[in-house]
Amino acid sequence: MGTLWAARLARAGLPVTLIVRNAARLHAFKTALGITLVEGEQTQRFDVNAQLPEAQEPIERLLLTCKAYDAEHAISLIAHRLAPGAEVILLQNGLGSQQAVAARVPQARCIFASSTEGAFRDGDWRVVFAGQGHTWLGEPDAGEAPQWLAELRLSHIGHEWSPTILSRLWRKLALNCAINPLTVLYDCQNGGLQAHRTEVDTLCDELAALLIRCGQAAAADGLGAEVHRVIQATANNYSSMHQDVAQGRRTEISYLLGYACEAARQQKFAVPHLHAVHQRLIEHLSQRGLPCN
Ligand code: KPL
């Protein structure tokens, strides 16, 4: 997602600097001579800057696009570089990492984002824009839209300022909790869950009740029906968590089911089915030697 945003901002003539993990990545970037965006039949290369986290330059606006489990560490490496009043846009799945990042950088304005855009890498520093989508941005305490949203418009990044971003993130989390873990446990495409309708419905009922208990009634509204719509619309796809497990990658379990179970514990609200699926998933991951957090 970082490369996808960087390429479109650069295409609009805006200055972009990538912050890469380490010297080896910086070297690889310099060899690639920029980033490449593949969109339909079109392939375009863009020249952008890149630097290491330990560079000195102050940061005014940062888009953090790493996985949820890397976000807190990533921000800790550059927190001292954030200028007073800097803005940090957090584009992570699930919930929990955004709050952890915000607590680490109280001097910054943290903007949470939720996106339905799809992209994948087909080479180093190359991104394929696979699915047109939309990105919602907002502050958890419903702040005003920043001026620079106009720059996103210039870059043709479909977006909207959302006064209810937490509700959007909770809704997406609930959808992912109802679908992703079961696709891993049954080793199936999303459509395979049509054979486990009762189990999906039970999880949706529990998730909707939890959302209401957490003060997120709007995110609970019609959850079950939407989950079934998504299962049908994406029947031939493997969920992102299924893909992670199949490729031996760490999952974002702690920011999805883990977050939901922890919220239930804090609310003293019983979620036996969610809890059972969480435990089954932990067992499944540990049997495959994958992290359970
Ligand atoms: O977002 C998804 C994912 O795979 O992570 C969907 C397709 C909605 C399934 O939960």
pLDDT tens digit sequence for 203-242: 999 999 999 999 999 999 999 999 999 999 999 999 999 9
Cα of 239 to ligand 1 centre, how many Å? 5
Where does residue 280 fall: left (phi above 0), alpha (psi -120 to 50 degrees), or beta otherwise?
alpha
Express each pLDDT in 95-123 by its tens digit.
Answer: 999 999 999 999 999 999 999 999 999 99
Domains in the chain, CATH or no CATH each: 2-163 (3.40.50.720), 167-287 (1.10.1040.10)
- Say if CB 127 and CB 18 are below 8 A apart: no
The per-residue pLDDT for 75 is 98
- Taking alpha carbons only, the member of 242, 239, 231, 237 closest to residue 199 is 231
Euclidean distance between CA atoms 82 and 105, whole angstroms? 8
Over 235-261, what HEC string results?
CCCCCHHHHHHHCCCCCCHHHCHHHHH
Euclidean distance between CA atoms 271 and 145, whole angstroms? 36
Q: Over 90: is that where the pLDDT of 131 sits? A: no
Q: Which atom of ligand 1 lies at the shortest distance from residue 179's CA?
A: 10
Q: Which atom of ligand 1 lies at the shortest distance from residue 243's CA?
A: 4
Whole-prediction pTM: 0.95
Number of residues that this document lists for the chain: 293
Express each pLDDT in 138-165 by its tens digit.
Answer: 999 988 999 999 889 999 999 999 999 9
Given the residues 30, 67, 172, 268, the one annotated as active site: 172
- Taking alpha carbons only, the member of 251, 250, 278 closest to residue 263 is 278
Once rounded to an integer, what is the mean pLDDT over residues 76-85?
Answer: 96
DSSP 144: P
Q: Which atom of ligand 1 lies at the shortest distance from residue 178's CA?
A: 10
CA 200 to chain centre: 22
The per-residue pLDDT for 50 is 97
Ligand 1 shell residues, CB under 6 Å: 175-176, 179-180, 190, 230, 234, 239-240
The residue contributing the CA closest to ligand 1 atom 7 is 239
